[in-house]
Amino acid sequence: MSSIDEIKARLKKNWYQFINENSKRFTKKIIDGSSPPSLFVGEYGYPHVRVGPMVPPYHGDTSILDKPELWLGKSMEEIVNYRLNLLKGTMIHKVNKISGRYIESLQDMALSKRAVETTMTLEKIPSLFLNDMILSNSNPSEIPVIFSAPVKEFKIFPSNSDEKIEKKYYDGDLLASDAVVELYDNSVDMTSITKVLSMGMLGRRKNRKLVPTKWSITAADDIVSTHLLKKIKNNTILDSYLVFTFNHLANYYSIIFIPDDVWNFEMIESWIDTNGKVHIGSDYESGKNIDHYPSIAGAYFAARLAVAEFLFKKRRMASVLILREIHPEYFVSLGVWQIREGIRESLKLKGKKFETFDSALKYGISKTSLSIREWIQNSSIIRNRKQKRISDYLN
Amino acid sequence: MVFLAKTKSPDEWKAVTSAISTLVDEATFEATVEGLSFRGMDPSHVALIDISWPNSAFDGYECDSALKFGVRIDEFSKLMKRAEKKDAVEVSVEENSLLHIKILNGYKREYKMRLIESTGGSTPLPKLNFNSKIILTPASFDKILSDIEVVSEYISIESDEKKITFSGKSDSGEADIIIESGSEGLEELQVKETSKATYSLDYLSKITKAISASGGSLVLEYSTKMPLRLEFRVANVGRIHFYLAPRVQD
């Protein structure tokens, strides 16, 4: 893998090239282009949030720019570039005010099956700059968007809507969580689900409101995985320990499945910073949903979704311990899709089987740079292996 | 009327619901001609509560035929908290999916609470022989737990004919509490065989705090590396058994 400085240099080079190619378009207050479609609802200032479209200054099939399901195997530069191509228009809106032409245009866009032709009139010409601060962004869930400007007017040329999603949009009696589950069961991808969820297009009519993008991603991962976990409860217990290891964009994963009749889930993250210092965070649930917001935030639910999906498909029941080691080369957070899709991908590989927990753990840890002691110290699942269960004494 | 139970005060219900709330959010009660019962494990299957509340312990009890009803414990407690110590309480289930709670004192208050789907089969009880039996007041046990909790998440209990040693340790330090036979707060100590086992303080503290306000006495029974059973003897409630699986070093 290239050094961080090399990646940064290449990113900057791409960026300047992009600016040069499109310089004429950026010097106007009117920008037209095909939105993937892509939308953004900020969390800052909640309940008065910034909401708006994200549009590249060019036309065509731009869907890849905002479709993480298609990003697996892409390099960090490519993914950051997708984001850098999007200009974010913003307007401050109260979250429960989901009427009016502007919001309706955005909602139409969220329903669209493919890229949407748009024209955005800005209050002012966007300022273009790319500095190191942006590239060392450590906000865990957002890919940096470089340029944004307040929108004065936004127009779209509607294209075909996704009928599955449209049906839930018109159903004003269905709970938002049920709508999310039904869309998922109907093979709608998570990115599309979170777009309509964040635009206040699902749920009981009177409860609908805008949901910051980041929250909607977490909520959808949480809702869908909770739904899957209910279904796997009575599955056959996995017959041996199963370990998957995977490296995705300088994130090293070890996913350890533990035969168990009670659902236990833990994700431990160790983040190695550029000075070589290690920071560890972990969250855990036993028998039921975690009852507080996890310290590792949205990563927890994205990972839980990927493993619940695996158990559901394999019709098995197990507990799961995930070790995630983040290396310094992952210097821009690309979003929690990286975790969801990375783990989904790793679970397509053939896992390694083990007869004992210790051997499974030892193998999982051998793919990371932390010692077994450091992981154990931070793991509730490992500590709680000493805890017997009442069910052990029933016979 | 399918089921009706009267108590002279809400305290009995408060003790029962706060005990259950330490383990689960939703509870299914089972009412029969003999009385009311609840049995359930926490989601991790580490602890189990078994409550048997015989008809004779109520101020009035009617049950035509066996029935199960499910409640959300926090909602039930919230309503029950509206009643004061001297208020008589009547809990009933009629032929609709509502739980009726009548609070009778001076004026009449009636709450109706939506029942939830009751959950499946009954949980069996673990089969255990206990080698040590300790009877003490819930308040003194609560104090012991708090003393250990400042240094540790777990408590080890070691008992012989003469004394009981409660201890805990962690990276930060250790705590030892020795209670000799005849000490204040210790009502009885019976040891067939020296016993030592370790348990999670979190579970023990929660259940003890939930019930200690109701007074009465507490019977603690266990054996080496085996589950512990707490029996809370609360006035006008039959018995509340709390089982807790041990922590063991493999």
More confident residue, B140 or A18: B140
* B81-106 per-position pLDDT tens digit: 999 988 999 999 987 789 999 998 87
Going by C-alpha positions, the residue among B16, B51, B54, B52 that lies closest to residue B35 is B54
End position of a domain, from candidates A232, A267, A288: A232
Pairwise CB contact (< 8 Å): A389 & B46: yes
Any idea of the CA torsion for A130, A89, A215, A199, to the nearest 10 degrees?
Answer: -160
Residue B126: asked if its preceding bond is cis (omega within 30°), the reply is no
| CB-CB neighbors (< 8 A) of A288 in chain B | 43
**Chain B interface includes A380 (CB < 8 A):** no
Q: Is the pLDDT of residue B9 over 80?
A: yes
Contact A390 B226 (CB under 8 A): no
Q: Å from B220 to nearest chain A CA? A: 17
Could you tell me if B108 lies within 8 Å of chain A, comparing CB atoms? no
pLDDT at B118 over 90: no
* Span A95-111, pLDDT tens digits: 999 999 999 999 999 99
Check if the beta carbon of residue B58 is closer than 8 Å to that of residue B48. no
Q: In this complex, is the C-beta atom of B40 within 8 Å of any C-beta atom belonging to chain A?
A: no
* Test mutation, B25, B46, B198, chain A, max A CBs within 10 A: B46
Tens-place pLDDT, residues A142-180: 455 567 889 999 999 978 899 999 999 999 999 999 999
- Say if residue A223 is in the same domain as residue A248: no
Q: Are A378 and A268 within one domain?
A: yes
* Spatial CB neighbours of A163, under 8 Å, sequence gap ≥ 6: none
The whole-angstrom separation of Cα A313 and Cα A308 is 9
Q: Is B127 on the interface with A (CB under 8 A)?
A: yes
Most confident of A157-161, A261-265, B83-87, B115-119: A261-265
Residue of chain B whose Cα is closest to the Cα of A286: B44
pLDDT classification of A140: cutoffs 50, 70, 90? very low
Interface touch A390/B124, C-beta < 8 Å:
no
- Mean pLDDT, range A277-293, rounded to an integer: 92
Closest chain A residue to B48 measured between Cα atoms? A390
Burial group, residue A76, by CB count within 10 angstroms (0-12, 13-18, 19+) = buried
Q: Give the gap in angstroms from C-alpha B244 to the nearest C-alpha of chain A.
A: 7
- pLDDT, residue A5, reads 79
pLDDT at A388: 96
Q: How far is A184 from chain B (nearest CA, A)?
A: 26
CB A112 within 8 Å of CB A37: yes
pLDDT > 60? residue A136: no
Domain end point (choices A232, A258, A291) = A232
**B126 contact residues in A (CB cutoff 8 A):** 390, 393-394
Question: Do A380 and A364 belong to one domain?
Answer: yes
Range of the domain at A65: 4-160
* Residue in chain B nearest A233 by alpha carbon: B43
Cis before residue B246, ω within 30 degrees of 0?
A: no
* In a shared domain, residues A166 and A46: no
- Give the ranges where A28-151 is alpha helix by DSSP (H): 76-84, 101-111, 132-135
Shortest CA gap B230–chain A (Å) = 14
Residues A260 and A137 in one domain: no
Q: Residue A311, SS3?
A: helix
Q: Is B224 on the interface with A (CB under 8 A)?
A: no
Is B247–A388 a contact, with Cβ atoms under 8 angstroms apart? yes
A250 & A379 share domain? yes
Q: What is the pLDDT of residue B2?
A: 85
Whether residue A386 lies within 8 A of chain B, CB to CB, comes out as yes
Does the CB of B129 have a partner CB in chain A at under 8 Å? no
Judge if A9 and A60 occupy the same domain: yes
Q: Count up the domains in chain A and report the number.
A: 3
B248 at interface of A, judged by CB pairs closer than 8 A: yes
Q: Are residues A152 and A48 in the same domain?
A: yes
The answer on A194 and A131 residing in a single domain is no
Q: How large is the average pLDDT for residues B149-176?
A: 94
Higher pLDDT, B1 or B143: B143
Residue numbers in A near B244 (CB within 8 A):
390
In the stretch 285-314 of chain A, residues with CB closer than 8 A to chain B read 286-288
* Alpha-carbon gap, residue A20 to A131, rounded angstroms: 17
Nearest to A392 among B47, B244, B245 (CB): B245
CA A97 vs CA A127, A207, A244: distances in Å: 29, 11, 46
Predicted local confidence at residue A139, as pLDDT: 46
Put simply, the answer to whether B41 touches A393 (Cβ < 8 Å) is no
Output the CA torsion sign for A307, A310, A315, A316: negative
Is the pLDDT reported for residue B139 higher than 50? Answer: yes
Is A190 in the same domain as A214?
Answer: yes
Assess whether A33 and A83 both reside in one domain: yes
Task: Say what the pLDDT of residue A14 is.
Answer: 80
Of A329, A308, A217, which is closest to residue A264 (Cα–Cα)? A308
A325 close to A369: Cβ distance less than 8 angstroms: yes
Same domain for A152 and A171, yes or no, is: no
Question: Around Cβ A131, how many Cβ atoms within 10 Å?
Answer: 9
Contact B74/A at CB under 8 A? no
Identify the closest residue of chain A to B244 by CA–CA distance.
Answer: A390
Structural domain ending residue among the three candidates A131, A160, A189: A160
Question: CB–CB of A385 and B250 under 8 A?
Answer: yes
For chain B, where are the alpha helices, taking DSSP H only? 11-21, 73-80, 138-149, 201-212
Which is higher by pLDDT, B127 or A133?
Answer: B127
Instruction: State yes or no: pLDDT of A141 exceeds 60.
Output: no
Residue B89's pLDDT is 94
Contact between residue A57 and residue A93 where contact means Cβ atoms under 8 Å apart: no
| Chain B residues within 8 A of A394 when measuring between CB atoms | 124, 126-127
**A residues 32..71 contacting B (CB < 8 A):** none
d(C-alpha B164, C-alpha B196), whole Å = 10
Given a cut of 60, whether residue A135 has pLDDT beyond it is: no
CA distance A157 to B77: 56
Please, are residues B4 and B101 in contact by the beta-carbon 8 Å criterion?
A: no
Q: How confident is the model at residue A55 (pLDDT cuts 50, 70, 90)?
A: very high
- For residues A148 and A124, give the distance between their C-alpha atoms in angstroms, rounded to a whole number: 10
Partner B contacted by A234 (CB < 8 A): no
